[in-house]
Structure 1
C-alpha cells in the first residue's frame, strides 16, 4: 500500500515539474513574443496623426463665414482648451484605467469575455481610448480578427511614441459625435453653440455619452434616451471619484438648451466669394490641394459679412422670378479689398460665378475710360461737340455705321463733355474716340486694370468689347482713389493648424493716373445724378438719385442683352450687371432699371453708419461757375451754372454774351472747340469718299 502511495506522489511530482517547465517555456515564449512585438512596434516608429479637419474661412471682421470639409466637420483644439468635465466624463465612461495601461486593458478584456459568454453574444467590447483612437485614425469599424490585431498594433505604436495626454487629445478631436461633427469642439459648437472650453458639467456629460452610439444617443433625435445615457455617464464619474452624488444629480436635472436642431447647417455667407478664395489658394498662392483637404487652415479674407448680406438681400429683392441673372462686386478702392461678391441669384442652382467667370459688353459704362483719355489729351468738362444723328463710314464697301442715342434723343446742337457723360450721348463718344485715335481708350483701360481683350474698333467707345464685373470695379477704383490701380484682394492671410502664417498679403496700389484728372472725371461722373443738368433729355441717373444720400459718381450702361451700373464713393466701388445667361434680349422697359436699383440701394445701405466722405480735391484744380450748356463762364446774362472743376490754367475764360434782342440766351461756343468739330466733319466727309 505504501508503495502505491509513493508512486502516486512521484507521478504527481513529475506532472507538477512538467507543468512548471511548460509554464516556464510558455512564459519565456510569451515574454519573447511581447518583447518582439514591442520591439517591432517601436521600430515602426510613431504613426502619423494627420486627420481631416475643417478649414475655416473668416471675414474681414474675423467672424467665420464658411467652412471646407469633406463630410467631417472637425476643429482641432488642444487639451488645455477642453473643459475638464469633458475629460473626466470621457475617461469615466470609456476607459477608467486609461492612465494605467499600455493601450489595452487585460482586466477589461477578461471582464468582457465573461460578460459575452454569459450573454452568449459579442455585445460588450473592451476597447480602450487608445484603441478607439487608433481605429478612428487608421481603421474601419468592421468586427474582424484582422482589424482587432491591427488595432492592437497601432495602439501599441501610439502608446510607445506619444504620451497619454497627446493620445487623449487626439481621441477627443477625432471621435464622432453625430450630425457630421467630428471632435469635441465641432460637437460643442453644433449642439450648444459654444466652445468646448466653456461647457457646463451637464453639457459635458451629455456630449460624452454620445460616441457610444452617435445616432442612437443624439439628444436631437431622442432627448429622453440621451438623458438616460447622461445619467450613466454621471454615475460613472461618481464611481470614478471625480464627482459626488449631489453634483451628479444636479447636473442631470439641469435643463439643456440646444442651438441647432437640424443636420449639417452650412454657412451661406458669400459662397461665390468662397469659391474664388479656394481657387486662389490653389492656383495663385500655390497651397497644395491636399493641404486644404486635410484641413485645419484658417483663411482670413477681405469679405465684409454685413456688406455681403446687404448685396444678397438687394439682389433677391430687386430680381424678378425669372431666368434673369445678375452679378455684383464691391471693393474698397483704397486697398483693393473685395468686400462683397455675388456671382448669381442662387449658388445651389447655379455655382457659375458670373462676377469673374463670364464676360459681357459693358455698353456706356465703358465711356469713363474713353473720357479720361480725352482729358489727358486736351479735353475739359467744357469741350463741346455736335450731338445729332451722324453716319460714320468705317469700312470700305459697307453701309455707313450710324450709332443711335437712347430713344433717339439728340441735342441737335453742341453739348459739353459734362452733358455728354450725364446724358450718355453716343455721338459725342464716337466722335471723341475717333478724334483721339482708337488706341487711346484701349491703353487707358488696360492701364487701370482691364485685362480682357479689347479691340480698336470705333464701337469700343460704346462698350462693345466684353469684360467681367470684377474688372469694371477694379478699373473704376483708379478714378475713386486718386489715380491708383489696385489689385483686387480676397485673402489677407492663411494660418496653418500649428498657428504658423503660411501666406500673408498687403494691399498693392500703383499710381497710373493724374490725381487732378481723376478728380475732374469723378466730378463729371457725378453729373448723371444731377437733375440740374436736364436739358433736351434727362440725366441717366435721375430715377435713383433720391436713393443716395452721400457723394457718388458713376456710369450706367446697356446693350441689347446687358444692363450695367458701376459707381463709387471714396470708400466703396460697386459694379453690377444684369442679363440672361444666353444671348436673350432684355426688356429695357422693365429690366433695364434693375442694375441701377441694386447698385443704389446696396451702396446706401452697405455704407450706413460710415462717414459721409467727399471726393477730395487735389492741389492744382480750380472750380468755376460754368454754364453746362455751352461751357462758358456764367454771368448775369446766362445765370444757369454748375460748379465745375478744371486743371488750373484750362478753365473757361470767356463769359456768356448778352442775350439777343428777342430775349433768347446765346449759346456761344468756344471757337477752338468749334474748329475741332469742323475738322472732324471734314474728316468724316473725306473718309466717306
Structure 2
C-alpha cells in the first residue's frame, strides 16, 4: 500500500533508530553542538576512536576544470576553444564578490561561522521533516554540502560506467543515515584542516549552476557576462538562488513557459527574492540595497564558452590537431582515456605555436581560391606552415568547415587533410614532383653534382633496390608540372628547374631507391598511415607514394631550410596547470638528418625552381625562397612546397576521391584554373611570412657538389657505331651520330672520328658526336720542309690542291713549307685543299706572303 505520512509515534521510532545508529557518535554530536570542542585535538581523537568504522579524513582532490587552448596574436594570447565536462574556472577568495559569500551563508547556513562543521539544529529539523514524509530536506551545513559535492565529483572522476556511477551517487548522495554520519564525520575533520573562508571558497567553486556550469566564476560569466568578482547584488542573489535547484532555476531557457523570459524567470526570481530577504534579515545588506535589488528584473546575458574545436572557426583544424597530440602522447597520461580526461577536467591552459597573424592570411588566401564545396567534385585544399629549426607549427588551414556531424553535408568534415591519420588526418595524398627533392638530396648524399649531365633520353631505365632489380619506361608526359620536355642530355640542375621526369629517371639509375625512401623519412616525409614508403621506380617522380600529408612535406622542406636539422612538428609551447605550475610537455626534438653542405646545395638548386623554373609563379619576389612544384597522375592533385630560412609552407589543392575525379587542369575554380591556384595562394602566404619573420640569404652551395666533372673521352675510331656507342655510354657520356658520313681512310661504316676526340677531356654526361667513315678518304702527305713547288707537286700527286697561307712564318729558308693544314696523316677527300704556310727567310717580307699561283 502507498506509504502514508508518519505519525508522531513513527517519528519517535525513527528518531530512536537514528539515535541507535548514532550511539557511538556521542562525541561527534557533542562536537557538533559545541564547536569549541570540535576543533580540539582531544575531541577529534575521541571521535576517531569512537568511529573506527568511518573514514578519518576526506581527500580534497583538484576540481574538474575546463581546459583552454590559446594561440598567439603578436604578444597577446587569444582563446581558441575550451574543453570541459564541467565548465568551471576555480577562483581565489579575493576574486569572489562579498555579495556571493554573504548570499551563500545567509541562505544556506546562517550559523556557518558559529558551528564546527555541523548545524545540528538544521540536521534535526530535516530529520523530523523527512521522518514525517514531508518534503525531503538536506539540513546540511555549507561544510557538509561541500563534502557531498567533493564526494560526488570523486564518483564522476573515478568511475568508468553508468552503472558504477549510479551506485557511487547513491552511496554519497542517497538518503541514508549512514551517509549523513559520514558527511558529519568528514565535515568536522575538514574544519580541522581548513579555515572557514577556505571551505566557503571551495563550496562556491564546486557548486553546480545548471547544465555543465559549475562554480561561481563560470556561472557569473555564462549567465551575466561578468566575473564572480564583479557581480551586482541582484546577480549574486540570482546565482545563489539557482544553486538551490540548478536545472529548474537556470536562466538560459528563455522559452521555458514556467521559468522563462515571458514571465521574468518567475521561479528563479522567487528564489532570488528569498536569498535577498535572508541577506537583509541577517544584516548582510541594508534596506536600501534590498529595495533596489528586489526591484531589479532578471536579465540574462548568456555568454556561451567556446566549447570544443568547432567554435574555433578557421582555426578549428589546428585546434583538433592539438587535442589529438594530447590524446596520443604518453606525456599526458598512461592511457588515451586518462589523456582525454586530463583535457576535459584538468583545468589546463594550453599555449600553442599558432600565429594568428599568419593563420588569418593563410585562411583568407585559401578560402578565396578554393571553396569548401565545388559541384561535381570532392575538392580539398590545405596550407600549412612550420618553423625551420624548431618544428613549431605556425599555421594550418583547410578549405572545408570543421564539423564531426556527418549530416552537415558537403563542405564539412572533421578530417584534417593537413595531418597524419593518427592525428585526425586523412590517408594522405600523392606528392607528385615535390618528391623529386628527396631524390635530389640522395643524389647529393652520394657525392654527385647538380651540374652532372645525365642521359634523359626516353627509354627503358634499369634500377637497383633493396628488393631487387627494377625497370621503368616513363610515360609521354616528361615534366612534373604539366609541361612537355623532350628527352636528351640535361644537367641535373636543368632537370630540377624544369621538373623533367626523365632526368630524375636517369639519376635513379645511379642510386638505390631504398636509400631515397630512407632519406625522405629522415627529413620528415613519411606515410600518413604509418606504412613504409615504397621503393618503386615511379617514386623518383612522386607518383608511387599516395599517403603523404602536407604537414609532412612542409616539415621535410623545413629540414633543408634549417641546414639539414630535422625537428618533429610540434603544436604546444607551454601548458600551465590549474594550480599555476607548468606541466612538462614534449619539447623540441631535433636531429641532424643530413649534412649541412648537402642541405645548402639542395636549397641553392631549388631556388632556381622559384626564379627560373616551374615555381616562379608562386614567388613573392621579396626575399630568398626555394621550393618545388608538383602535379600528380592525371592532374588529380597539385602542390607547391616552399621555404624561406624562417618558414616552410606546403600548399595542396586536389581531389579527395581517388577514382572518378576531376583533372585539376580541366577545372576552373573561382575564375582560376585548378592546376594554377597554388601559385596565388603561395605567393600571398610567402609575402606574409617575409613581413612577419623576415628571411636571410641561404648558405652557399658546396662547390664539390656543383662541380662540372671532366672525364677522358675513349678513343673509338675504327669501331663499329654500335660498339663505339656502348663504350662511350659506359664511360658516362651521351652519344649522337652525325647524319652525313665523312671522307676517311677508315673502313666505310666504321667510326672515322669523334667530337670531342678520343683522349680529350669532357664533362661527364656530355654529348659525344660520332662521325662515320665513307671509306673514300686519302691520307695527306707530309710536305713540311719541302720547297713550295715540291710540296705542291707532292700534294697534287696525292689528289690534293695546294694553297699558300695569307702570311709567312718568320725565319727559315724562304718559300720553304713551315706548316700544313690538314696535317700529315690526316684524311681528306679527293681535291681537298691543303693550306701551306711558308717561311719568310732571313731577309723575308716580315710576314707578308706571296700571292697564290
| TM bin (shorter chain) | 0.7 to 0.9
Q: Which residue of 2 aligns with 1:242?
A: 284
Deviation at 1:335, TM superposition (A): 1.0
Q: Which residue of 2 aligns with 1:136?
A: 149
Name which of structure 1's ranges 394-403 and 500-509 shifts more when overlaid on structure 2: 394-403
Q: Which residue of 2 aligns with 1:489?
A: 570
Gaps of 5+ in 2: 1-14, 30-46, 153-165, 255-259, 405-412, 422-426, 668-673, 711-754, 771-853
SS in structure 1 at match of 2:764: helix
Q: TM-score, normalised by structure 2?
A: 0.62
Is 1:179–1:264's contact at 8 Å kept on the other side of the alignment? no
Aligned length: 606
Cα 1:281–1:143 shift into 2, 3 Å: closer
- Quick one: distance in 1 between partners of 2:285 and 2:707? 86
Cα 1:445–1:672 shift into 2, 3 Å: farther
Tell me, yes or no, if structure 1 residue 461 matches structure 2 residue 502.
no
Cα 1:673–1:545 shift into 2, 3 Å: farther
- Quick one: distance in 1 between partners of 2:348 and 2:234? 31
SS in structure 1 at match of 2:288: helix
SS in structure 2 at match of 1:67: strand
Deviation at 1:472, TM superposition (A): 1.5
Match of 1:421 among 464, 489, 496: 496
Match of 1:405 among 465, 474, 478: 478
Deviation at 1:362, TM superposition (A): 0.9
Is 2:452–2:764's contact at 8 Å kept on the other side of the alignment? no
Tell me, yes or no, if structure 1 residue 303 matches structure 2 residue 385.
no
Tell me, yes or no, if structure 1 residue 324 matches structure 2 residue 379.
yes
Residues 67-216 of structure 1: pairs in structure 2 closer than 5 A: 67-70=82-85, 72-108=86-122, 122=135, 126-138=139-151, 146-147=174-175, 149=177, 151-163=179-191, 164-216=196-248
SS in structure 1 at match of 2:242: coil
Cα 1:228–1:567 shift into 2, 3 Å: farther
- Quick one: distance in 2 between partners of 1:549 and 1:258? 52
Tell me, yes or no, if structure 1 residue 284 matches structure 2 residue 329.
yes
- Quick one: distance in 2 between partners of 1:115 and 1:109? 10
SS in structure 2 at match of 1:454: coil
SS in structure 1 at match of 2:389: coil
SS in structure 1 at match of 2:391: coil
Q: Which residue of 1 aligns with 2:434?
A: 365
Match of 1:341 among 396, 410, 415: 396
Q: Which residue of 2 aligns with 1:613?
A: 695
Deviation at 1:271, TM superposition (A): 4.2
Tell me, yes or no, if structure 1 residue 559 matches structure 2 residue 643.
no
Deviation at 1:484, TM superposition (A): 1.0
Deviation at 1:83, TM superposition (A): 2.9
Cα 1:545–1:285 shift into 2, 3 Å: same
- Per-residue Cα deviation, 1:402-461 (whole angstroms, up to 9, x for no partner): 462244511566544444333222122211222344344334323323344233332121
Q: Which residue of 2 aligns with 1:46?
A: 57
Cα 1:145–1:476 shift into 2, 3 Å: closer
SS in structure 1 at match of 2:630: strand
SS in structure 2 at match of 1:409: coil
- Quick one: distance in 2 between partners of 1:327 and 1:568? 16
> Relative contact order (alpha carbons < 8 A, sep ≥ 6): 1 or 2 greater?
1
Q: TM-score, normalised by structure 1?
A: 0.75
Deviation at 1:232, TM superposition (A): 4.3
Is 1:390–1:402's contact at 8 Å kept on the other side of the alignment? no
- Per-residue Cα deviation, 1:347-371 (whole angstroms, up to 9, x for no partner): 3243334311123321111111222
- Quick one: distance in 2 between partners of 1:371 and 1:256? 70
Name which of structure 1's ranges 487-496 and 554-563 shifts more when overlaid on structure 2: 487-496
SS in structure 1 at match of 2:461: coil
Moved over 6 A (4+): 26-31, 110-118, 140-145, 252-257, 394-399, 651-654
- Quick one: distance in 1 between partners of 2:428 and 2:381? 12
Tell me, yes or no, if structure 1 residue 34 matches structure 2 residue 26.
yes
Whose radius of gyration is greater, 1 or 2? 2
- Quick one: distance in 2 between partners of 1:155 and 1:528? 75
- Quick one: distance in 2 between partners of 1:145 and 1:68? 27
